[in-house]
A = this chain, B = another copy of it.
């Protein structure tokens, strides 16, 4: 655990030193919030989705974040082009399969991205992650119908099957590559009342992947940092509007030292 806490601090320090460019192909709802979160963390955000630009843009980036929250076929095509280019260049890619399981388009698009590109990490709620396995799951919008505990064993075997690292977020977050399993305990219940906290957690992982080549530790430490920002925000705000602003403040204010001391993991 101490190793992970130290790794979290190191990763945050590296993000602030290197200010990695994080290329996002993400949904309209969260673009502003995730860009602000990346800046608050110390990273450098860019949003670009044009077919005739994404390969060049991802070449400049430290990592690629893909999110299907407001998908159309042409955006998925751009994600696949960008993902293939990132793969060629050895840059890490993370997918947020928002609402996978809820509609055929979302489930099929997530699976298409998974099949055609190599992903370092997939982050979703338990229902979204479970939907990547079979089509019997029916998510209620982007909310989870299954607990993190239900998903744990499945996640581990699914991670092996898909040859990636899965980050299943909920009250407790679970990160696994099929061999290692890390649980992240940081977080706060008000985060559910802010749109795009899941998407922004994904982006935080994207920033950490740009400085930490191990997807398991990058994902777990980013989720600890993001969850801790929720805890800090809850010390200042008791309702979702002021809470979402306080979270941006906290992402900026949390030092590597505080993160090392207050991040909470179990294996």
Contacts and interface: CB of A to CB of B under 8 A. Distances in A.
A205 B206 CA distance: 34
A195 interface: yes
A44 B195 contact: no
Contact of A249 (B33, B105, B242): B242
A27 interface: yes
Nearest to A141: B46
Contacts of A29: 31-32, 35, 47
A94 to B, nearest CB: 18
Nearest to A53: B105
A73 B49 CA distance: 11
Interface residues of A, number: 59
Given A47-B29, A69-B47, A239 B40 contact: yes
Contacts of A72: 49-51
A112 interface: no
Contacts of A240: 36, 39-40, 248-249, 252
A245 interface: yes
A196 interface: yes
Given A27-B47, A240-B36, A252 B193 contact: yes
Nearest to A46: B141
B70 A195 contact: no
Given A29-B32, A248-B239, A45 B140 contact: no
Interface in A67-104: 69-73, 99, 102-104
Contacts of A196: 32, 35
In this complex, the member of A72, A106, A192, A194 whose beta carbon has the largest number of chain B beta carbons within 10 angstroms is A72
A103 B141 contact: no
Given A73-B52, A252-B239, A195 B32 contact: yes
24 contacts: A27-B47, A28-B31, A29-B31, A29-B47, A32-B33, A45-B195, A47-B69, A49-B72, A50-B73, A53-B106, A57-B102, A57-B103, A60-B103, A60-B140, A239-B249, A240-B249, A241-B244, A241-B247, A241-B248, A241-B249, A241-B252, A242-B245, A244-B248, A245-B245
